[in-house]
Amino acid sequence: MSKPPYWRLAGAYFFYFAYLGAFAPYFSLYLSNLGITAAGIGILMSLPQLVRIFAPHLWGWLADRDGRMLRVARIGSIAGTLLFGGLFFVSSFEAVFAVVLLMSFCLSAALPLLESTTLSHLGAHAGRYGRVRVWGSLGFIAAVALIGTVLDFFAVAVLPWIMLAILIFAAAFLLWVPDAPRTEHAGAPSSLAGLLRKPQVIALFSACALMSVAHGPYYTFYSIFLVDHGYSKSAVGGLWTLGVVCEIAIFYWLAHLLRRFSLRAVLMASFALAGLRFMIIAWCADSLAMLLFAQTLHAASFGSFHASALGYVNQIFSGRHQARGQAIYTSVAFGLGGTIGGLYAGSAWENLGPGLTFSGAGLCAFVGLFILWRNLRDAPAAAPV
């Protein structure tokens, strides 16, 4: 097997997540500058998450049918970049809604198909996935830090130009990454429906969706929660940064972790530590030391969770089902689970208060752990590194 194109894959991850690092913290500021109402901003910012529920299925189906995953990812990325350019010509809510909806639909093709391509290139060394994926986290941090600094000196109207440049680089790296050969595992069922009916697969996807639900209050209200407890905005930023740094560390260290423990053990430990993390946030927010410890657990609740879940998906959905398996994982875990998590967070925060809301998040993680313990077997093959 030829050497994986490490730096090309790393560049694709870096710029894809740099775009997310520009969109998530700052795009709402641009929308506010256009005069769009708070309710309208909330709707527009939720569109990428909602699109992830259904769009990856279409892209995955096209990729499996075509047989060349990267070609479909490139088409989606280039189309999304071109559609993004429409933001320079619109300002009304309705027009911006149409542009964001269409560009999000197209851009949703990139990540699931890039993940499948990366794992195919790594082949028997899937444990090294973390050392490629870590560049996505670095891209996110770089974008958040650099764009924040730029916006201290320039008007927010410059943001679309920065985001467009990032998307162009992301598309360029996707064009540069070579296609990977498909891999078939022995005994792989010919029917996608047959795979989806397996109790192990149902348990895996259900638990992953619960993990995203658990993160709903964190992504929606964590900063507000900390400020309400008297922490400065710089302390809030430091806590967020600590979480991402620990995420980077676990991605880099993942290969060593998988030499000692099975995918099942790593995945179940991720759920257990996620539950602990959200319980600490719920009831120990007045202790900076406890919050610092809770943030280090982001390495488990996102980093090792995502990497080990992806390892299962890659081994269960092989060959001609590979792209659709990744698409289903993305749409169920992050699209559906993330949307439900956001809705839960908004409702519970208002009606139950922060402590019970984060406790509910911890409970979701523990329920996911129980589902995995009862239904998930060890991965069909070892996870070599």
Co-location of 99 and 199 in the same domain? no
Q: Name, in order, each residue with C-beta under 8 angstroms of 359's C-beta and a sequence gap of 6 or more.
A: 278, 279, 282, 283
What's the rounded Cα separation, in Å, for the pair 242 and 224? 17
Co-location of 233 and 137 in the same domain? no
Q: Give residue 181's pLDDT band: very low, low, confident or very high (50, 70, 90).
A: low
Co-location of 168 and 310 in the same domain? no
Proportion of the chain above pLDDT 90, given as a percent: 43
Domain membership flag for residue 33: yes
Co-location of 236 and 306 in the same domain? yes
User: In the chain, how many domains are there?
Assistant: 2
Domain membership flag for residue 381: no
Co-location of 160 and 270 in the same domain? no
What's the rounded Cα separation, in Å, for the pair 281 and 217? 11
What's the rounded Cα separation, in Å, for the pair 321 and 333? 18
Q: Which residue has the tokens 């998906």?
A: 313
pLDDT beyond 60 at 381: no
Give pLDDT, residue 234: 74
The mean per-residue pLDDT over the stretch 316-337 comes to 80
Give pLDDT, residue 383: 41
pLDDT beyond 70 at 190: no
Q: Give residue 356's pLDDT band: very low, low, confident or very high (50, 70, 90).
A: very high
- Report the CATH number at residue 146: 1.20.1250.20
The mean per-residue pLDDT over the stretch 348-352 comes to 88
The mean per-residue pLDDT over the stretch 152-180 comes to 92
Co-location of 161 and 198 in the same domain? no
What's the rounded Cα separation, in Å, for the pair 193 and 190? 9
Joined together, the tokens standing for residue 298 give 């982001």
Alpha-carbon Rg for the chain in angstroms: 20
Q: What is the pLDDT of residues 32-86, one digit of tens each?
A: 889 988 778 877 877 888 888 888 878 877 877 766 778 889 999 999 999 999 9
Co-location of 214 and 349 in the same domain? yes
Q: What is the pLDDT of residues 90-147, one digit of tens each?
A: 999 999 999 999 999 999 888 888 887 887 888 767 667 878 888 998 998 888 888 8
Give pLDDT, residue 382: 39
CA atoms 10, 15, 19, 25: torsion sign: positive
Q: Name, in order, each residue with C-beta under 8 angstroms of 188's C-beta and a sequence gap of 6 or more.
A: 318, 319, 321
pLDDT beyond 80 at 184: no
Q: What is the pLDDT of residues 225-273, one digit of tens each?
A: 888 899 887 787 788 888 989 988 998 888 888 889 999 999 999 999 9
**Boundary residue ending a domain (176, 211, 245):** 176
Q: Which residue has the tokens 């699931």?
A: 112
Q: Give residue 2's pLDDT band: very low, low, confident or very high (50, 70, 90).
A: low
Domain membership flag for residue 149: yes
Which one has a higher pLDDT value, 209 or 146? 209
What's the rounded Cα separation, in Å, for the pair 136 and 110? 13
**Where in the sequence is the domain holding 36, given as residue range(s)?**
11-176
Helical spans, DSSP H, in 158-304:
159-176, 192-196, 199-228, 233-260, 263-283, 288-296, 298
The mean per-residue pLDDT over the stretch 346-354 comes to 88
Domain membership flag for residue 183: no
Q: Would residue 191 be called left, alpha or beta, if left means φ above 0 and alpha means ψ between -120 and 50 degrees?
A: beta
